[in-house]
Structure 1
Amino acid sequence: MLRFLLLLLLARLQSCNPRPPNHLPEEESEDVRTEALKRLLEVFGIEDPPRSPHHIKQPPQYMVDLYNTVAGADGITKDPDILEGNTVRSFLDKIHSDQMHFLFILSSVAKNERILTAELHLFRLRTKVPQGPMYMRHHFCQVSVYQVLDKNKLESSEGKKLLAAKLVALQGSGWEVFGITQAVRDWMEEDSSNHGLLVTIRGLGGAPVDPTVVRFASGRDHHESKKPMLVLFTDDGRRGAALPVSSLPDLSPQTPELLAEPLAPAVARVRNARSVDQFLPCQRQLLSVDFEEIGWSGWIISPKSYNAYHCKGSCPFPLGENMRPTNHATVQSIINALKLSQGVSSPCCVPDKLFSINLLYFDDDENVVLKQYDDMVAGSCGCH
């Protein structure tokens, strides 16, 4: 797979002007491999590959369902407007208390990420409503979520700030969602201010409610699929991320040491095939990216692989509409055909439409992240 990645990098530089293969020592070949994987991580906005979870861990069903809503099985985005921002992060409660006090560690959120929306997801357990005058008259109670300001003053207004409140039916079960965006923004500005969240349940008149009537799953005693969860919708500002050609090794004939010897036969095969394919028209062809072969399957949940496609073929004169040429490419092909200017090559077969893909993966803290990446799949090819 490393050989494939390097060929992919070489193809960016040699798509229109192939050069003869060169060789380099084994230790420098390893440097090229390391650089190739480093560049691939940069495309995905990751500094280092996250560690695989220490044990078999199931991602929150909410994140799996969100991924399936946003993307197909191959990770390709169904509709770019479905997702708010380009990143969704989920965090599980770290206190694991049976009380309604929750703490979420946000250290994995990058400082450059803009917080768009933050939600507290609590799973309400099915309970039996007791008999009594109050429960006969009122069918709802109020659930309030507070930002903890001082853990030692929770009984007073100085120790907490109201973030959200909603009426909840006394009977029923399932997920309840509360907006807590401002609290998360405060924590991102000053992480030492993160003392967690407090949830209270009161009757409609402010009267206390039997704690057995309305119960939420805690982080300690309940199945992972029902644990309290914080969900962040953010945007990291990355748009159209691509490998900068200027930062890749110069593979010109003047630097023969930069091409690994083990790759030379494969590169030669590519070039031999090019001589055959030069008569084929510009078209889209398969290009599989398999995360298991790269060694990333331990932390990537979905997709396990995707088809990036690539563009291959010639752009001969005259360029027809089926070649999807730009006006510039049409003029260039005419100049090249008439030999009106030296050094002008024929247009190149390149992607003219690109689609985004989505990755669902575990980060270093075993939180689950859904991230959307622009310009990752060649949707169609044309002569440019």
Structure 2
Amino acid sequence: MLRTVLLLLLLLLLLALARTASPGPASVAIRRAEALKKLLEVFGMEDPPAPPTHSKQPPQYMVDLFNSVANADGVTKNPDILEGNTVRSFLEKTHSEEMRFLFVLSSVAKNEKILTAELHLFRLWPRVTDVTDGPKRQHFCQVNVYQVLEKDKPDTPGGKKLLAARLVSLQTSGWEVFTITPAVRDWTEDESSNQGLLVTVQSRGGAPLDPPPLQFASGRGHHESKKPMLVLFTDDGRRGASLPTAGFPELTPQAPDLPAPKSRRSRSTRSLGRLQPCQRHPLSVDFEEIGWSGWIISPRGYNAFHCKGSCPFPLGENMRPTNHATVQSIINALKLSEGVSSPCCVPDKLFSINLLYFDDDENVVLKQYDDMVAGSCGCH
């Protein structure tokens, strides 16, 4: 009887060890879900945005901005371009034929500080007769951008507020950008106050022009690449804490681990690992592999790098030690105090990365995240 009980206990122990050593599919799925949730938290999200319902191209302005700020891996190469850490773009969705525009800003988080708001309008080529008719020939006209205060009566006194005014040439076509920050701040503080924008065209002297010689592309009847767009530069208050981040990383790390010569491979792997000095090693993050490629536009992934290796006494300059690490190494080597370990191999320079992605409303967002790439490693 005792022997049977012991055998049953041994069997149960072996089963428990087997489960620990090789977790089942359900356990692996749970751990994967937990890991992805943590990664989403790093990116300031609760859930991943849903991919666009159809093949959708991001505005060229946002693509160009990403390319000017980041390299192909998303690592920041020019930290002085962005104002704040978030750029949001909104396409006009009312498809009005008049020069009235409404942008839905529900995806702007309450904690985001509005730094600058820009209205981007694509100026069409003027009609030939409008610029060549004898004494009425026009070379410039004045464009006014108003915040609408009274939706149904914008032309009454108090029905609108002037945000920007500029003389615009009638000899070219292309994008015109108007700063409208006060209006967007009003809208984000009180969503019900968002009655849209009104754009008017006048002569240089302020007289109305009918029909106006200048036309902007609208949301109706024009290619999506020319649609009116609102661009917000904001800051969500998320900032890296401690390590220097300025400047573009020189991605030339200390040499990674190389296979040992055959004559030395008889040593245990563990012993060999301890002898490797502190240095930087690749750590690939592939957004397609983790199922995020549907909503992330750029990059497709990036190299986060990680630090690994020993910090043996005495610490040389190539270990990039802090003064504290040097003292700790001496105390550890001379056994001057109990419980003092050798310094650790950790990142001593971190760099930010940038993501260009679609949010839940299919708006395109450029967001910068601090402390995402180990630029170099040292003993601390």
TM-score using structure 1 length: 0.83
Q: Is 1:354–1:377's contact at 8 Å kept on the other side of the alignment?
A: yes
**Partner Cα distance (1:128, 1:27) in 2:** 66
* More off after superposition, 23-32 vs 83-92: 23-32
- Letter of the 2:236 partner, please give it: D
1:156 matches 2:156: yes
Q: Is 1:87–1:370's contact at 8 Å kept on the other side of the alignment?
A: yes
| 1:304 alignment partner in structure 2 | 300
Instruction: Show the 5 A alignment for 1:199-218.
Output: 199-211=199-211, 213-218=213-218
Larger Rg: 2
Measured on the aligned residues, the alpha-carbon RMSD in Å equals 1.9
**Partner Cα distance (1:311, 1:291) in 2:** 22
- Letter of the 1:155 partner, please give it: D
Q: Which of 319, 343, 362 is matched with 2:339 structurally? A: 343
Secondary structure of 2:275's aligned partner: coil
- Report % sequence identity: 75
* CA gap 1:125/1:332 in 2 versus in 1, 3 angstroms: same
**Partner Cα distance (2:105, 2:235) in 1:** 15
| 2:373 alignment partner in structure 1 | 377
| 1:236 alignment partner in structure 2 | 236
Q: Is 1:129–1:135's contact at 8 Å kept on the other side of the alignment?
A: no
- Letter of the 2:166 partner, please give it: K
Q: Is 1:129–1:171's contact at 8 Å kept on the other side of the alignment?
A: no
| 2:330 alignment partner in structure 1 | 334
- Structure 1 position 191, deviation (Å): 0.2
Is there any run of 5+ residues in structure 1 with no aligned partner, and where?
A: 1-20, 243-271
- Structure 1 position 143, deviation (Å): 0.6
Secondary structure of 1:153's aligned partner: coil
* CA gap 1:205/1:107 in 2 versus in 1, 3 angstroms: same
| 1:249 alignment partner in structure 2 | none
Q: Is 2:68–2:78's contact at 8 Å kept on the other side of the alignment?
A: no
- Structure 1 position 205, deviation (Å): 2.2
CA deviation vs aligned residue, 1:72-105 (integer Å, no higher than 9, x gap): 1111111212111000000000111111111100
| 2:188 alignment partner in structure 1 | 188
Provide the aligned length of Structure 1 versus Structure 2.
Answer: 334
Instruction: Show the 5 A alignment for 1:1-384.
Output: 27=26, 29-130=28-129, 131-136=132-137, 138-211=138-211, 213-240=213-240, 275-384=271-380
* CA gap 1:25/1:74 in 2 versus in 1, 3 angstroms: closer
* CA gap 1:33/1:241 in 2 versus in 1, 3 angstroms: farther
TM-score using structure 2 length: 0.84
CA deviation vs aligned residue, 1:122-144 (integer Å, no higher than 9, x gap): 001112342335533x4211111
- Letter of the 1:93 partner, please give it: E
**Partner Cα distance (1:352, 1:343) in 2:** 24
Of structures 1 and 2, the one scoring higher in RCO (CA 8 A, sep 6+) is: 1
**Partner Cα distance (2:133, 2:270) in 1:** 83
- Structure 1 position 28, deviation (Å): 5.2
Q: Is 2:141–2:204's contact at 8 Å kept on the other side of the alignment?
A: yes
* CA gap 1:80/1:174 in 2 versus in 1, 3 angstroms: same
